[in-house]
Amino acid sequence: MTSAAGKQILFVVGISYIIFGGLGFLGAFLGMGSVTTWDIISPMASGMSWAHFNAILLIAGLFHIFTGITGVINRARLEKASMLRILGGTDIALAIFIVMLNMAVSAYAPRNLASIFILIIRFVLPVLYIIGAQKNLAANASQ
């Protein structure tokens, strides 16, 4: 039996997804609480309301939590490596969508260390997730 070569990477990245996804979900949830009636009815420059923007961030946070839990649970299951790679690819697409959405609604540009850190994390975690899944996929193929 071949060992799952990417299980440590998937475990660490999965835990990171759970933590950062939970923080993102919490931030979006608290942002929903601060949305006023005027924010709901008045669109931003992109035509989207703040309530819709926060709803997208809530869904993204839940997806990150799901991706993290799935990675931690299936880190040693070689037959699940393909599914984990698809989740990582989906998260890269989600990261690109959210960055573009941020740019559209708020003229987003990394202005401080925290926003640069978040931008790096948003793209590094899915790449590491895919690397871990790919290592497991290669181990599965060599069986």
21 by Cβ neighbours in 10 Å (0-12 / 13-18 / 19+) ranks as buried
Sign of CA dihedral 116, 113, 29, 36: negative
Q: Which of 69, 63, 68, 84 is nearest to 4 (CA)?
A: 84
pLDDT digits (tens, 9 = 90+) for 64-98: 999 999 999 998 888 888 999 999 999 999 989 88
Residues 6+ apart with CB under 8 A from 117: none
Are 128 and 87 spatial neighbours (Cβ–Cβ below 8 Å)?
no
Please give the full DSSP string across 27-79, using - where no structure is assigned. Answer: HHHHHHHT--HHHHHS--TTS--HHHHHHHHHHHHHHHHHHHHHHHHTTT-GG
pTM here is 0.81
Per the prediction, the chain carries an average pLDDT of 82
Q: Domain spans of the chain?
A: 7-141
pLDDT greater than 90 at residue 108 = no
pLDDT of residue 2: 59
- Sorting pLDDT into bands at 50, 70 and 90, what band is 126? very high
